[in-house]
Amino acid sequence: QVQLVESGGGLVQAGDSLKLSCAGSGRTFSAYAMAWFRQAPGKERDFVAAITWSGGNTYYTDSVKGRFTISRDNAKNTVYLQMNSLKPEDTAVYYCAAQGVIGGDYRATSHYSVWGQGTQVTVSS
């Protein structure tokens, strides 16, 4: 089992950039595919991006393609989300998640078993 801690959020203006970090602890971190989700107040937790450890493949929800980049450093047990050209609609709590099941939909929260505490990203207009 791993534990995840997100950091790097903040309050920025539209068009600005932020880089989120997700630091993992535990001895099996490298075995997990990782993802970022986000949740605005009163809304469901939605998929943002995912990355596979072994293949290095990345996946993004359509609304962030070309603006966000997910990356990893397995040696440091860390996954990142570089967010550029931020928009007010990106405002949410961003959560890091580690894969908990084999197969299924990587865009679904049920695909992941370990979650960080979240970091707030607020984008003003």
Please provide the average confidence, as pLDDT, over all residues in the chain. 92
Residue 67: closest CA among 50, 48, 42: 48
Grade residue 28 by pLDDT with cuts at 50, 70 and 90: low
Residue type, 105: D
The answer to whether residue 21 scores a pLDDT higher than 70 is yes
The answer to whether residue 83 scores a pLDDT higher than 70 is yes
What gap in Å lies between CA 44 and CA 64, rounded to an integer? 17
Residue 124: closest CA among 6, 15, 43: 15
